[in-house]
Amino acid sequence: MTRRAVVTATGRYLPEREVPNSWFSDELGLETSDAWIQSRTGVQTRRFVDREAGEATASMATEAARRCLASAGLTGADVDGILVATVTPDHFFPSTACLVQDALGAKGAYGWDTSAACSGFLFTLAQAAAMVRSGMARRLLVIGADTMSSIIDFEDRATCVIFGDGAGCFLVEGSDEPADGELLDFVMHTDGAGGDSLKMVAGGSRHPTTAQTVAANLHVVHQDGRTVFKHAVGRMGDVVTELLERNGLSSDDVKLAIPHQANLRIIQSIAKRQGWSMDRIAVTIDRWANTTAATLPTTLDWAVEEGRLERGDLVVFATFGAGFTWGAALMRW
């Protein structure tokens, strides 16, 4: 019998170092301002890791996982596996999941990383749900974590102001009976033709790290902002509609929408298309910016903390990222 996959706990970690918009002009000397950044992105502030203290993706992921497990009254020894979505791993190998497994003392757990940029968490959550439904796994930690401050160009004002660092975690468990937090459905898409519009050129096997690639600034995020914006608005809107239609639902049935936190104007466009007032959208881009794979789990964790959900409410997640990758998920809280 196919089991149900349910989210039984959540957790998040954001670094203590808070970086307001004014930092980019006051400290870096960029020709920008708080008003300019807010009007184009919706971001007011973000968090960056403390490198001197040794913070990075694995440490943030570990802390988010610890908080998630603590809320469930469990420890690392109680989980079967750890799946981490990230494009900023501490190392190419070993995986971030291996580092988290060791830090949690989860000796019996397997783990691996997935890479789908801003769509990474949703894609990995779908993977976890399928494993739990099939009986392959009983209890999984699904983590989205990124240290975007490690790969952004701080001389590119159009890009560097968008991102922040953070980590979020879901505990996904199997249930033989209907249960709160059930993951009901996923829709996912990829269009590799969009790869050139959002990428980091060097550091992989095609362009290994050399003095020349470093000098050419090829180890940072390169983005065609207009193209990404256009595709994000259209495809996130389309995939939400696709998800609702195939589940026989309308926009009115959704209590809370949690979109990827890339740009407030994108979020507003999706809300308008679905006929949602902004009070039905969870928005955290103002305080944490775009934390890539961490935006969905951190935002849900915050929404729960704020009392935005009641038992039985339908929640829709939507995302869009490099690849291009995009998708949506449906949950009953």
68, 231, 260, 263: which is the annotated catalytic residue?
260
Task: Please say if 118 is a catalytic residue.
Answer: yes
The three-class DSSP label of residue 182 is: strand
DSSP 263: -
118, 160, 169, 263: which is the annotated catalytic residue?
118
CA 171 centroid distance within chain: 15
Cα gap 233→231, rounded to integer Å: 6
> ∠ at Cα 281 (20, 166), nearest 5°?
40
Task: Please say if 21 is a catalytic residue.
Answer: no
Task: Please say if 169 is a catalytic residue.
Answer: no
Residue 21 main-chain phi, psi, to 5 deg: -60, -35
Cα gap 107→101, rounded to integer Å: 7
H or E segment at 64? Answer: helix 57-72
What type of residue sits at position 10? T
The three-class DSSP label of residue 254 is: coil
Residue 280 main-chain phi, psi, to 5 deg: -100, 10
- For residue 268 the two structure tokens come to 């507003």
State how far the alpha carbon of 53 is from the alpha carbons of 46, 48, 194, 309, in Å: 18, 12, 37, 36
The tokens 């660092």 sit on which residue? 165
Q: Cis peptide leading into 324, omega within 30 of 0? A: yes
Burial (Cβ within 10 Å: 0-12, 13-18, ≥19) of residue 212? exposed
DSSP 215: H
> ∠ at Cα 144 (141, 150), nearest 5°?
140
Kindly list the catalytic residues: 118, 260, 290
